[in-house]
Chain A
Amino acid sequence: MPNLFTLVLQITVILAVCRLMGSLFRKFHQPRVVGEMFAGILLGPSLLGWIAPQFSAYLFPPSSLGFLNALSQVGVVIFMFLVGLGIDPRELKQQSHAAVMVSHVSITAPFVLASLLALFLYPRLSDDSVSFTNFALFMGAAMSVTAFPVLARILVERDMMKSALGNVAIASAAVDDVTGWCILAYIVVLIRAAHQTTSIWVTLGGILLFALIMIYGVRFLLRGLERTFQKYGEISENRMAFLLLLALASALCTERLGIHLLFGSFLMGAIMPKEPKFVRYILDRFETVTITLLLPLFFAFTGLHTNVGLLKGPAMWFYCGLIILVAAAGKLGGSMAAARLSGMPWREAAGLGTLMNTRGLMGLVILDIGLDIKIISPALFSMMVVMALVTTFMAVPLLDLICPSGALGPSPQKAGVAEVSFQEIA
């Protein structure tokens, strides 16, 4: 049984520090999520455990971390459902040449550069229980992801959602996230299959069957839910509970199939009807508790695993600097080059590259999976968390520099549902 006093004390301290840091970062025009991510690191061994080890051991005794982790994972499961909900498949279908080019290059460029970097890092930061292929693919997936919610929030705040740049950024980020998660699912299946007696073909067949049931069966049920909303303007508590149960059941199925809980909840969100008012209604019901209560626990738990103290000596800091440089060159540089070659002016192309370079919470979620399946070592995890923080942190100041207010005009195109999504998280 968890020690309830310890658990409630942990939650209280985490929420207080996250809100404080979130508000502080907002004052510097940073997305709140950057402050909350930073708060998680402050509560971990990198700061609190370093300056006050006794208090840190009292607040986060190792025996209590399992309960904190369980709560935080529930939060991430629901968050991934909300991320899936914010992605509109129509945006993926109706892409312009520029969006197709940017989205594909913003995956391949960081992927190739990350794999090149893996050639250097694998003998230094991994061990022989991890294969090079899995290591390199994971590094590629972690570096090619874009924080869709953070990106959407930055666009809304800067009134860029309806600009050509905003449309390309949203469509590209959606493609990146879907592709990144598919690649990650492939890696997780391969790794877990190596430790299971079930044949990988049975696992793959199960995943395919599950996806078909979700897309052609469950999606049909969900349309009924949307029709009810359109008729009455609301959804009963029973139906909302049913929706939550479906998301959790989907998460359980993917976990059972050997992928990960998060893929199921993401898929469930992705197949939901995308009528903006319906999406906003669902988000309003789930966002508050998830974003104000459960996600800060995830940030704190990630922070407890992040130990900057592991980066001892100039060599480790050099690796960390190299990771940040390669991540930015691949994502920012790749997206910018692709946008420029597609005919976008330099200023807009650079702005797009900067937006695509934000990794935020999505980066942390992927890294957490990597640490969980032990494909990355604790020191590499810490470096990658620093990279995710730096690349997210640099987005707003760089955008201020590249695209000052009013520098970009709106396009007549209508923005997608992301405009109404994720009001609080970013």
Chain B
Amino acid sequence: MPRTNRNFVFAYTFLVILPLVGLAGILKSGRTLVAPVSIDGVWSLQENTAQLSSLACSKAFAALPGQAIAISQSGRSFVLNFPSDPDVTASGTLDGTTLRASVIPPHAPTSENSCGRELSLQATVGRNADSTWLAGTLSAVNCPTCSAVEFHAQRQAPAAARGGH
């Protein structure tokens, strides 16, 4: 074999074939990695309305637009918005199966007794074979007298064409 060809074969093996073998190893070892739980999608929200109306800060809660929230997830952080009012957005973080976000409804009264405008959302993700849900609480941040409002949300439709397994 001429020297040039031998060098080419050596370089090709070193720079192409070996890295490809390495790639196979990387893909195999990556299968054991665990990514954050998926919360991306549109969720239909059900609040405890009886509990809501009895609260001192009920107007702040009632200012939340619509009964659906859309979550756009990027790993452990997410952006939350309301399809019925695209002006309202909030960001939050995901820690295990617990998600936390703070929401400021734009149409909420600026002050209501001792109520602030900011709402805090905390929920846990649960899922079984058929559905994924959120169960958690909404609370007014600057309202020591308010108790949290419980809510339940169901993921409306599975996110289309995910990069599935």
Decide whether A and B are members of one complex.
yes
Contact A342 B30 (CB under 8 A): no
Please name all residues of chain B whose beta carbon is closer than 8 Å to the beta carbon of A239 when the two chains form the complex.
none
Contact A119 B23 (CB under 8 A): no
Q: Does B34 contact A (CB under 8 A)?
A: yes
Contact A377 B74 (CB under 8 A): yes
Please name all residues of chain B whose beta carbon is closer than 8 Å to the beta carbon of A140 when the two chains form the complex.
23
Query: Considering only CB atoms, which chain A residue lies closest to B26 in the complex?
Result: A115
Contact B31 A132 (CB under 8 A): yes
Please name all residues of chain B whose beta carbon is closer than 8 Å to the beta carbon of A337 when the two chains form the complex.
15
Contact A133 B27 (CB under 8 A): yes
B92 to chain A, nearest CB (A): 11
Q: Does B35 contact A (CB under 8 A)?
A: yes
Q: Does B102 contact A (CB under 8 A)?
A: no
Residue from A57, A312, A341 in contact with B87 in the complex, judged by beta carbons closer than 8 Å: A57
Q: Does B62 contact A (CB under 8 A)?
A: no
B133 to chain A, nearest CB (A): 16
Which one of A101-109, A293-301, A355-363 is at the B interface?
A101-109
Contact A374 B30 (CB under 8 A): no
- How many residues from B make CB contacts under 8 Å with A? 41
Query: Considering only CB atoms, which chain A residue lies closest to B40 in the complex?
Result: A127
Q: Does B128 contact A (CB under 8 A)?
A: no
Mask for A191-204, Cβ within 8 A of B = 1, else 0? Answer: 11011000000000
- How many residues from A make CB contacts under 8 Å with B? 53
Q: Does A13 contact B (CB under 8 A)?
A: no
Q: Measured between alpha carbons, how far is A9 from B20 in the docked complex, in Å?
A: 50
Mask for A166-200, Cβ within 8 A of B = 1, else 0? Answer: 00000000000000000000010001101100000
Contact A127 B36 (CB under 8 A): yes
Given known A127-B73, A195-B160, A380-B74, contact A119–B15 (CB-CB < 8 A): no
Chain B interface residues (CB < 8 Å from chain A): 4, 7-8, 11-12, 15-16, 19-20, 22-23, 26-27, 29-31, 33-40, 72-77, 79, 86-87, 91, 159-165
3 nearest A-B residue pairs (beta carbon): A379-B74, A375-B163, A130-B163
Chain A interface residues (CB < 8 Å from chain B): 57, 62, 97, 100-101, 104-105, 108-109, 111-112, 115-116, 118-119, 122-138, 140, 187, 191-192, 194-195, 310, 312, 334, 337-338, 341-342, 372-375, 377-380
- 12 residue pairs of the A-B complex, CB under 8 angstroms, read A105-B15, A112-B23, A127-B39, A127-B40, A129-B163, A134-B163, A140-B23, A195-B161, A310-B77, A341-B15, A342-B8, A375-B163
